[in-house]
Structure 1
Amino acid sequence: MEADLRILMDLKSQIERSRVNFKKSSKERITPIFIEIRLEALEKQFGKFSEKHTGLISKYEPNELNKTTYIKEDLYQALYDTYLNYKVELKSTLSKFKNDIVSPSCSETSKQSMKSSCVKLPKISIPKFSGKYTEWSTFRDLFISLIQNNETLDDVQRLHYLKTQLTGEAEQLIRHIPITQSNYKKCWQLLTDRYNNKKFMSNCILKRLFSQRNITCESSNSLKELLDSTTDCLHELSNLGIDIKSWDVIIIYIISLKLDVETRKQWELYVSQLPDELPTFKQLKEYLETRFRALEFVEPSKSKTRASYANVNNNPKALHVTSNFTCPHCSEGHRLYNCKQFAKEDVDKRRNIVQSLGLCFNCLGYNHSNKICRVTIKCRICKRRHHTLLHPKSQVDSATCGVAMESTCNSNDTILDSPKDNTITNIATHFLKDKVQTIWSKDMG
């Protein structure tokens, strides 16, 4: 392969150098015979190049060729463009030596054609085809126009280009068919039989046409999207050979159901002013175009809307918090020390309930122990640090109450990082996540 590539690159450089030398030639040297000899040499060189290129394509596998710089940079096409431009330059120079008198109009036409031939147009690339039915029509039309109808290519080159433009399922369909002169039509027929499924393609187009979303409010963008999608679907159906000339009534009915209330109302008023005949899709299209153009002037711009939204969000807002208290004993909306069921229990049971819930024995609050409780109110009976509802009835129990309470609370300590300021008499801690809130105030206890 390396020897063949070197020959191709040498022929390419010969043609390019010949063109450069022709441009450097003096006026005395450029004669009709000089130009004709160069034309003959150019044809021979390019003929050898084309034969070598065809042999290279037919001899090696596509996967092996695609790794070479020759295929990656598409050097054949680059040389072909150089060949055409060089040939045009030679023939244009030769035409100046003809003795026939050329009219001014003809000379201007020839100049314009020369200018147009020198314009470097962008390269048209064929999209890759992966086997999706929706991509088949575009791929097929472009490939036929650019490759299949190109008379300068033979079937070996066409099959090579065809295989390089396929991926996925489509590539797998003809993967094992070798690149030969006779296999191009066979491969193209396989692809056509597989993907030229008009029934499936028409179903996809109709599904897209009927499943367009309804417009809930007046919007220029929504109207444009609805109109463009409908027009595109109709064009695709027409490309499949489906006659849609008599579909106007059906299409108008479908589109009318998608419109918002005000736009549909205006459409009915617009139709009522027309002659007493069935409206056409062309009239609906003109109405919708007029409608969304008017809405574009009325609707606020997105930048203004975003700016106003940002200004609103930057304004300070007052936060209103609603405190909902849930009793941990009866699950009603009050604090534990206001619970009637809790008060009916005997002192020992009340202490067991507080201990099992992990509450503070001083304020009956959550998430802290009696040791670090910041509420200064003490038992009204014995003035010790426990709640009045937890005060023992007997004097013996009352004497040992402080020690018992302290030892019981220390076993359930859940220490929080908080300031030890006993002067604070009004603190509210809200645990919004678990819907638990603990409030200390002067009147607790």
Structure 2
Amino acid sequence: MEHQVTKCKPHYPCAQIFDKTNDGLMRYCARFNSSPIEEFSENLLKIKNNSLDDWYKQVQDAYDVLFQKDKEDLPANFLALAEGKYQFSIDTYENTKAKIVQQLKLISAVNQPMSSSQIEPRPKIVEQPEIYLQLPPCDTETFYGGYDEWPSFRDMFTAVYINHPLLSPAQKLYHLRYKTRGQAGDIVKRFALTNDNFQLAWDALHSPYENKRQLVDNQVTTLLNLPKVRKETSEEFINALNTSSRNPLLCIK
């Protein structure tokens, strides 16, 4: 009795390794870019930067091995598809890498200690004992986009950050990103962290919340949404007044 020979599907280990490492790099970049970069600490950014380089090195190695193979050893048209995936992964890697490097530079600039020439000497009162009062740190709350919160946020951010004599515009933009979330944060994040973009970002945030017509409409909406006074409550109040007026002990003479 003759045995029937079953043909197995060809196995392409180098192609599978390339797909696995390339997909791993893309997932890593997608997870990183899905979170606000301002929430990462300096140490965590350095770790993620090294991990990103490791993933990219694996993709490069798998790509080099892949193109050392003969075309007959690979699925049809696989090399053309692999070339397109590889070029896209390079672009994704470079964009993610640039974000991390830029953020690390900005954090380094923000945390850089002031030199002695930048620190103004504290004036002394002549013939008076020096009295130093240590105040608690002053900062602004996070702004989520509420019209009622805007005036307070605007004035506090101006006092703490914009008027700070030692902060560069890029540093101010960094703090503005960190202090805004939600609708307000979406406006600020449209601007890259550069000196030239701070004023543009501040104006873009300033514009909708300084719209007087919108502010009036918002106040009117707030008034219309106030809870209504129950009719029974008003009638009870009037009855109480009438009763007190008939009571001689409660009358005011």
TM-score band, normalised by shorter chain? 0.3 to 0.5
TM-score between both structures, scaled by the size of structure 1: 0.27
TM-score between both structures, scaled by the size of structure 2: 0.44
Q: Which has the higher contact order (CA 8 A, sep 6+)?
A: 2
